[in-house]
């Protein structure tokens, strides 16, 4: 494992393996992705020129079921990143007991530089290139950074054209009109909110006591910020890639979101009907936001935001990882030494893939659920796994991250061991 991200993943695996009932063979197996595909996607641009983009799809492990994971459009997408994200998906699906393995995909580009027509041709071209690598019983993609429901709809449509039959279960996070699930758009933020609530209950803290900073105001970050605001938490800072806004007395999250949707700009605002006025605030950089003196810090943007370089400056008491891999393995140790409790990505952001599972079930059965059913199932399941991970952490006196990995590894280990171990073959 030469790369940093995968090395971090491997270190976490080895730490948890000390406590989980898993054979050495199984741990060794989990250090390597099952299959990695790199593709070139030629796209005819609007001006008539041809551009070729590089894309990836990695199926990390399918011991517990078909693989599942999002598709990311971002300039930093690389094979290393996609493999690491696929590794995390394997553990995430096991941690919350979904009948899926882990996968991930991506295209290396800045999607903001493409027209809508070019983006559609690219999305369909990506599916042309990976169609034989995915499928409802093989590997099921979903949205991730800078991809959305419409893109998932184009991709499902393209896969159906290639296969000559309608195949909604090949991809989740689709528009509701094309077989998407109610509640999928806000599922990651809502699931993360349920985890925060479960942990605050264990810690005997009430929302009014807690100040919160959220880095990243996209799909996941804005949804959890809105949920926390509605529940009475004081959300004092939010940011996007341009920077952040801070007010120690709290920000009005729904108004900020309404303003951002209309003007594509983040401002500290208070709105009455459609008239918004700017309220008192400080502008903060993303680096400053991470170091704010708050109770809860929520990194919800990209990976590796808190590393050995800036972990010393973190003042929050609790970190909930809504993004995938926002804290490096080196930073984990520093935060732990500072007494900061970190709740890991593979639990906190699992709401997205849980509702994706519900969508896949609905597509296969042809019976569609009401929003109340989606939210009830999500609340019950993610709360149950949160409480179990809390107990494992206290039982073994380990971090919540290690506890979540122990929990996932126990399920993965059972499935791998049941296929035969060294002891079985040597007996
Ligand atoms: P998104 O594209 O909707 O939003 C990303 C946000 O982060 C944007 O507001 C962007 O401006 C901001 N951002 C980008 N670079 C930043 C930086 N350097 N500092 C601060 N903000 C920055 O993406 P998303 O779907 O919300 O995903 C965010 C994270 O959550 C990713 O790590 C993703 O893997 C993870 N996640 C998302 C889902 C989901 O269902 N959307 C599920 C699980 C995990």
Annotated active-site positions, please? 104
pLDDT in tens, 40-85: 999 999 999 999 999 999 999 999 999 999 999 999 999 999 999 9
- The single-letter DSSP state of residue 419 is T
Q: How many helices (H) and strands (E) does the chain have?
A: 15, 14
Mean pLDDT over each residue of the chain, to the nearest integer: 94
CA distance 362 to 369: 7
pLDDT of residue 282 exceeding 80, the answer is yes
pLDDT of residue 424: 77
Residues 292-300, mean pLDDT to the nearest whole number: 98
pLDDT of residue 4: 67
Residues 212-231, mean pLDDT to the nearest whole number: 96
Give the whole-number percent of the chain exceeding pLDDT 70.
Answer: 99
Dmax over CA atoms of the chain, in Å, equals 76
Q: Within 10 Å of residue 203's Cβ, how many Cβ atoms?
A: 12
Whether 386 has a binding-site annotation, put simply, is no
Architecture of domain 32-169: 3-Layer(aba) Sandwich (3.40)
- Residue 297 confidence class, pLDDT cut points 50, 70, 90: very high
Whether 219 has a binding-site annotation, put simply, is yes
pLDDT of residue 160: 98
pLDDT of residue 222: 97
3-state percent breakdown (helix, strand, coil) of the chain, nearest 5: 50, 20, 30
Lining ligand 1 with CB less than 6 A are: 143-146, 188, 215-221, 239-241, 286, 300-302, 322-324, 349, 352
Whether 356 has a binding-site annotation, put simply, is yes
Q: How far is CA 173 from the centre of its chain?
A: 13
Which of 97, 122, 99, 100 lies closest to 109 in space, CA to CA? 122
- Residue 93 confidence class, pLDDT cut points 50, 70, 90: very high
In angstroms, what is the span from residue 423 Cα to ligand 1's centroid?
A: 44
Q: Which residue has the CA at smallest separation from atom 43 of ligand 1?
A: 349
Classify domain 187-348 by CATH number. Answer: 3.40.50.720
- Enumerate the β-bridge partners of residue 272: 275
CATH 3.40.50.10860 domain residues, the chain: 32-169
Both structure tokens of 205: 């803290």
Give the whole-number percent of the chain exceeding pLDDT 90.
Answer: 83
Which position has the higher pLDDT, 28 or 286?
286
pLDDT in tens, 339-389: 999 999 999 999 999 999 999 999 999 999 999 999 999 999 999 999 999
CATH 3.40.50.720 domain residues, the chain: 187-348
CA distance 31 to 11: 10
pLDDT in tens, 9-40: 778 888 888 888 788 888 888 889 999 999 99
- The single-letter DSSP state of residue 135 is B
pLDDT of residue 417 exceeding 90, the answer is no
In angstroms, what is the span from residue 240 Cα to ligand 1's centroid?
A: 9
In angstroms, what is the span from residue 422 Cα to ligand 1's centroid?
A: 42
pLDDT of residue 2: 42
Residues 190-205, mean pLDDT to the nearest whole number: 97
pLDDT of residue 205: 96
pLDDT of residue 324 exceeding 70, the answer is yes
Q: Are 344 and 320 in contact (CB under 8 A)?
A: no
Residues 266-279, mean pLDDT to the nearest whole number: 88
pLDDT of residue 1: 39
What angle, rounded to 10 degrees, do the helices at 351-365 and 371-396 form?
Answer: 140
- Residue 6 confidence class, pLDDT cut points 50, 70, 90: confident
Which of 351, 41, 346, 320 lies closest to 173 in space, CA to CA? 351
Pocket perturbation via mutation, ligand 1, pick of 220, 321, 323, 359 by most ligand atoms within 8 A of CB: 220
pLDDT of residue 162 exceeding 90, the answer is yes
Residues 327-342, mean pLDDT to the nearest whole number: 95
In angstroms, what is the span from residue 266 Cα to ligand 1's centroid?
A: 15
Which of 239, 237, 225, 238 lies closest to 196 in space, CA to CA? 225
């Amino acid at each position: 494992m030469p790369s940093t991200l995968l090395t971090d993943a491997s270190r976490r695996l080895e730490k948890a393996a000390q406590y989980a009932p898993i054979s050495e063979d199984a741990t060794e197996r989990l250090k390597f992705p099952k299959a990695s595909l790199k593709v070139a996607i030629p796209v005819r641009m609007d001006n008539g020129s041809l551009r070729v983009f590089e894309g990836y799809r990695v199926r990390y492990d399918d011991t517990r079921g078909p693989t599942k994971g999002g598709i990311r459009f971002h300039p930093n997408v690389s094979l290393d990143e996609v493999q690491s994200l696929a590794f995390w998906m394997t553990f995430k699906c096991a941690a919350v007991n979904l009948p899926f393995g882990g996968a991930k995909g991506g295209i290396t580009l800045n999607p903001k530089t493409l027209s809508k027509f070019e983006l559609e041709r690219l999305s369909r071209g990506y599916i042309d290139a990976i169609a034989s690598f995915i499928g409802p019983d093989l590997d099921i993609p979903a949205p991730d950074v800078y991809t959305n429901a419409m893109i998932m709809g184009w991709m499902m449509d393209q896969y159906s054209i290639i296969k000559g039959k309608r195949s909604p279960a090949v991809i989740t996070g689709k528009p509701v009109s094309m077989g998407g699930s109610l509640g999928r758009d806000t599922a990651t933020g809502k699931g993360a909110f349920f985890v925060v609530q479960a942990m605050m209950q264990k810690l005997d803290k009430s929302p009014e006591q807690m100040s919160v900073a959220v880095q990243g105001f996209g799909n996941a970050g804005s949804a959890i910020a809105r949920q926390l605001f509605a529940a009475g938490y004081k959300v004092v800072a939010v940011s996007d890639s341009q920077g952040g806004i801070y007010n120690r007395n709290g920000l009005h999250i729904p108004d900020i979101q309404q303003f951002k949707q209309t003007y594509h700009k983040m401002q500290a605002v208070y709105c009455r009907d459609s008239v918004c006025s700017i309220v008192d605030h400080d502008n903060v950089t993303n680096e400053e936001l991470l170091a704010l003196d708050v109770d809860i810090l929520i990194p919800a943007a990209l990976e590796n935001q808190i590393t050995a370089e800036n972990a010393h400056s973190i003042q929050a008491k609790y970190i909930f990882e809504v993004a995938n891999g926002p804290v490096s393995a080196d930073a984990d140790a520093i935060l732990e030494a500072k007494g900061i409790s970190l709740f890991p990505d593979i639990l906190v952001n699992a709401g997205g893939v849980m509702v994706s599972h519900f969508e896949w079930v609905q597509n296969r059965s042809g019976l569609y659920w009401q929003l109340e059913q989606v939210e009830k199932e999500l609340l019950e399941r993610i709360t149950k796994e949160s409480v179990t991970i809390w107990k494992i952490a206290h039982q073994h006196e380990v971090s919540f991250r290690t506890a979540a990995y122990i929990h996932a590894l126990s399920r993965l280990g059972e499935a791998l061991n049941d296929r035969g171990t060294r002891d079985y073959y040597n007996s």
